[in-house]
């Protein structure tokens, strides 16, 4: 087991999600609308703000960036994966959205960015040196601004009932220790995001938790596995077909109807300067 430092920025962040972008667009459930609305309200142009953009750091294919832009907010969307950015650009074109600026980069580049009114980091903060990133964000976020950490599963709350089955099969195919991309072991963090945020310049913290109902088909449950860094097509390699067949068989026995429903808890953890 590798050591568990408080925070980690992986050596080649752009490689972590290699090969996942297509599945990500197709199968990853949207973040709950209540969370998007909450961030939108924080970011609405008001007394504090110029027309500086909102930063979506670790934007992936723009799942949050596009929804903020649809709500008339300009977005600077940054990700270290060209593949993810290309997927985001394609979605933006399809939806006629032109107020997102797509930029290759990662958490280590934050200090060099222009001023922003706030930053959203969704399901990506655990890949960053969290303390350093928050300190760097403090240099670019305008007065009155915010950091919003979106998580699609709150640690310690129930997972979908089928997850333990997936975990067991994944361990069988890939070993017990998760990967953060090909050949890179995942670092388990010892502190949760909220604790790290409370120690940062954005120490005034509020949390909005919401239930997220999931209603997935068998294909969607299987497709979702290709959106995770630890079971990406690149990580599975030649084992992908066998792994998906094993999943299909195990899940069909447990839920012959092919309909997978559960409710999980998602959250946005918002930090502002005291």
Site of interaction with ligand SAM (CB under 6 A): 9, 13, 16-17, 28, 57-60, 63-64, 79-81, 84, 106-107, 122-124, 127-128
At 51 the three-state DSSP class reads coil
CB of 18 to ligand SAM, least distance (A): 9
79 vs 244 by CB, closer to ligand SAM = 79
Separation of first and last alpha carbons in the chain: 38
* CA atoms lying within 13 Å on the CB side of residue 60: 26
Angle at 251 between CA 176 and CA 241, to 5 degrees: 65
66 vs 218 by CB, closer to ligand SAM = 66
11 vs 45 by CB, closer to ligand SAM = 11
60 vs 145 by CB, closer to ligand SAM = 60
Contact 271, 173 (CB under 8 A): no
Residue nearest ligand SAM, CB atom distance: 60
CB of 274 to ligand SAM, least distance (A): 26
CB of 45 to ligand SAM, least distance (A): 23
CB of 90 to ligand SAM, least distance (A): 15
CB of 12 to ligand SAM, least distance (A): 9
Rounded Cα–Cα distance for residues 177 and 213 (Å): 29
At 24 the three-state DSSP class reads helix
128 vs 269 by CB, closer to ligand SAM = 128
Contact 262, 160 (CB under 8 A): yes
Contact 73, 93 (CB under 8 A): no
């Amino acid at each position: 087991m590798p050591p568990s430092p408080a925070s980690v920025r992986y050596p080649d962040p752009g490689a972590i999600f290699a090969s996942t972008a297509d599945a990500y667009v197709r199968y990853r459930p949207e973040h709950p609308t209540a969370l998007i609305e909450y961030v939108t309200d924080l970011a609405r142009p008001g007394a504090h703000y110029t027309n500086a953009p909102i930063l979506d750091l670790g934007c992936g294919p723009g799942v949050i960036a596009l929804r903020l832009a649809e709500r008339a907010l300009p977005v600077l969307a940054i990700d270290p994966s060209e593949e993810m950015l290309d997927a985001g650009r394609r979605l933006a074109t399809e939806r006629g959205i032109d107020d997102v600026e797509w930029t290759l980069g990662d958490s280590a580049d934050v200090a060099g960015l222009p001023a922003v009114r706030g930053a959203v980091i969704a399901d990506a903060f655990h890949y960053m040196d969290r303390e350093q990133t928050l300190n760097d964000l403090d240099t670019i976020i305008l007065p009155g601004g915010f950091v919003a950490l979106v998580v699609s599963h709150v640690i310690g709350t129930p997972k979908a009932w089928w997850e333990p089955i997936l975990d067991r099969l994944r361990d069988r195919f890939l070993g017990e220790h998760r990967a953060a991309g090909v050949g890179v072991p995942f670092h388990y963090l010892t502190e949760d995001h909220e604790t790290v945020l409370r120690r940062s310049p954005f120490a005034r913290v509020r949390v909005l938790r919401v239930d997220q109902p999931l209603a997935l088909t068998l294909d969607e449950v299987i497709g979702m596995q290709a959106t995770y860094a630890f079971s990406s097509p690149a990580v599975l390699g030649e084992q992908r077909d066998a792994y998906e067949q094993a999943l299909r068989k195990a899940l069909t026995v447990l839920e012959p109807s092919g309909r997978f429903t559960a409710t999980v808890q998602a959250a946005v953890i918002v930090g502002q300067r005291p």
